[in-house]
Structure 1
Amino acid sequence: MPNCANCDSFVTEAYVRVFAPNELESVRVCPNCEDKLRDGAEIREARSTRG
């Protein structure tokens, strides 16, 4: 089962297929990550907490 590389949360294979670069088998950041987020093709620190 794939997990987020940042927070280790479970993510579906469909989510990985859409949001992970082709060479990776897991995502670098998922919607559960509080400290990082996707910004286009890049990953950046979150500017504020999610909630």
Structure 2
Amino acid sequence: MPECQNCGSFVTPAYARVFTPDGMENPRVCPNCEDMVRDGAQVRAARSPRNH
């Protein structure tokens, strides 16, 4: 099963298919990483808090 590379949380195969680049199986961040964003090949803290 796919899991977040940042926090290790389980993600659905559908989420991984949509939010993971071709050739990768696991997304770099997931919905559980509230204040983290992808930045190129890295993951970094968001510049502003994410409000849901």
Unmatched 5+ residue regions in structure 2? none
TM-score scaled by structure 1? 0.73
TM-score scaled by structure 2? 0.72
- When the two structures are aligned, how many residues end up with a matched partner? 49
**1:37 matched to 2:27:** no
Displacement of 1:45: 2.0
Unmatched 5+ residue regions in structure 1? none
SS in 2 for 1:37: strand
RMSD of aligned alpha carbons: 2.0
Hey, what's the Cα distance between the residues in 1 that align with 2:26 and 2:4? Answer: 6
Runs of 4+ deviating beyond 4 Å: 48-51
